[in-house]
Amino acid sequence: MGRHIIIAGKRKIGKTTLVDRLLEGSGARVYGFRTAPGRSMKKGYRSFFIHPAGASVRTESEENHIGDGNGIQPVAYPEAFDGYGVKCLEAEPGGIIVMDELGFMEKNAEKFCARVLELFDGDIPIIATAKSGHDIEFLNKLLVHPNADVFYIDADNRDELYETISSLIEERGGLV
């Protein structure tokens, strides 16, 4: 049994909602990151940003702009992951690291990927989400990491999965 949790699934299946439910009421200090589309979107075009997981205000700047996409050919900015993304992954014992979401855009961000793997080797608990269906070396390493329990979410199991992971967290003594 690992000390970290990865929730893997398709886009828009409920990974982030499940993480939010698991964190609700925990009182844990939250470190890590969340990715989200930008507020302004042109028709068929989106920009994506990385934000500190514990922040209540999200900003959009060149520093945290991780990519653009039109649904066909996304463009990633590894330098944003390697700079701002690595800063988001600074954490201290006594908290929990959220990584929402790991996917294909960071595959060429060497510093970011190395930091994520380093944290998975560590003792600070992690709850991460990962897109499924991508054959990417970085994601594949995480999905078989010896310190991680991987749960695959789909439309049929999301409510049951909350109970399963909550029980596991409780057995381990909580989120921190």
**In the structure, what pLDDT confidence band is assigned to residue 88 with cuts at 50, 70 and 90?**
very high
How far apart, in whole angstroms, are the C-alpha atoms of residue 93 and residue 29? 9
Place of tokens 């439309």: 155
Q: What totals of helices (H) and strands (E) does the chain contain, helices first?
A: 6, 8
- Give me the pLDDT at residue 43, please: 66
Beta pairing partners, 4: 148
**Could you read off the pLDDT of 130-165 as tens digits, one per residue?**
998 888 999 999 999 999 999 999 999 988 999 999
- DSSP H helices, 10-157, are 15-23, 78-80, 86-88, 110-120, 137-143
pLDDT at 134: 81
**C-alpha torsion 154→160→161→165, nearest 10:** 180
Q: What pLDDT was estimated at residue 42?
A: 66
Is 77's pLDDT higher than 80?
yes
Residue-range domains of the chain with CATH: 4-37+50-55+76-171 (3.40.50.300)
CA distance 175 to 160: 19
Specify the higher pLDDT residue, 91 or 39.
Answer: 91
Mean pLDDT computed over 15-40 = 91
Is 57's pLDDT higher than 60? yes
Most distant CA atoms of the chain, gap in Å: 47
Structure tokens at 109: 């961000």
Backbone angles phi, psi at 93, to 5 degrees: -55, 150
Tokens of 27: 């009182």
24-28, 38-42, 94-98: least confident range: 38-42
Q: Are 127 and 22 in contact (CB under 8 A)?
A: yes
pLDDT digits (tens, 9 = 90+) for 3-16: 899 999 998 899 99
Q: Tell me the pLDDT of the chain averaged across its residues.
A: 91
